[in-house]
Chain A
Amino acid sequence: MGVQLGRKAEDATPPPQQSGERLEHSPILTLFLAALAAGGWCRSSRGRAG
């Protein structure tokens, strides 16, 4: 069907220009948010069930 999987060169994000941009280019925030969200969701679901 003409769909090509994989990452293209145009999808690459430019490297951070300033020191403040490093956080959004690193997965630390992603992992922290995902862990926080998963923990909170499990806790609220358990609280609702029991």
Chain B
Amino acid sequence: MIAISNLNTCNFIFLMLGLLLHWTPKRLLAAVAKAVPATVGVLIQFPLCGAIATILTTAKAAGGVTVSGQIARLFVSLSTQGSFPLSMGVYSAILGFLIPNLREAKAAHRSGCLPEGAGPLSLVQGEDRLWRVLNPDGDTGRLREARLARSGGQLPPPANPLRRATSRDAVRSWTCRASAR
């Protein structure tokens, strides 16, 4: 039995119905642009970007690995303490060519796949996010710190590979270097 379970399914049905009734993509886009000119980009592109991000982050291969996990592991393996911000900058530039016009869609892709490398604060947030991608069932940094505080420091040290590569000290030194420029 096919069920219309949530808003995503409704969006999906109406998008497909609109596409079929207008018969060609050009006519659908023209009709949407005429009906809601201010939001045409959001209405058509956001569901598609969301679907792509969902495929990247949730579709698992035979080994239980997602595409976003693979990309994240690749960037972690290529990065060092110094090159991590640079590699994130290069990745963002490449992503800018692929998704040039929607900042939110870019952020959705990036948060699904990789940590943001745009600044020192986002580097710390990105580290936690990347840790969640690599270990979906594991503790996040903040959760682990809370548990550590509760247990009086009895927990073993985290096995997060990025703790070595992008520690808070690295972020602090990077901030100092950025502010000195």
Interface residues of A, Cβ cutoff 8 Å to B:
11, 13, 21, 24-27, 29-30, 33-34, 37-38, 41-42, 45, 48-49
Contact = CB atoms under 8 A, between A and B. Distances in A.
B164 interface: no
A49 B24 contact: no
A37 B16 contact: yes
Given A24-B25, A27-B23, A30-B20, 13 more contacts: A11-B30, A11-B31, A13-B24, A26-B24, A27-B24, A30-B19, A30-B24, A33-B16, A34-B20, A37-B12, A42-B2, A45-B1, A45-B2
Contacts, number: 39
A2 B26 CA distance: 28
Contacts of A26: 24
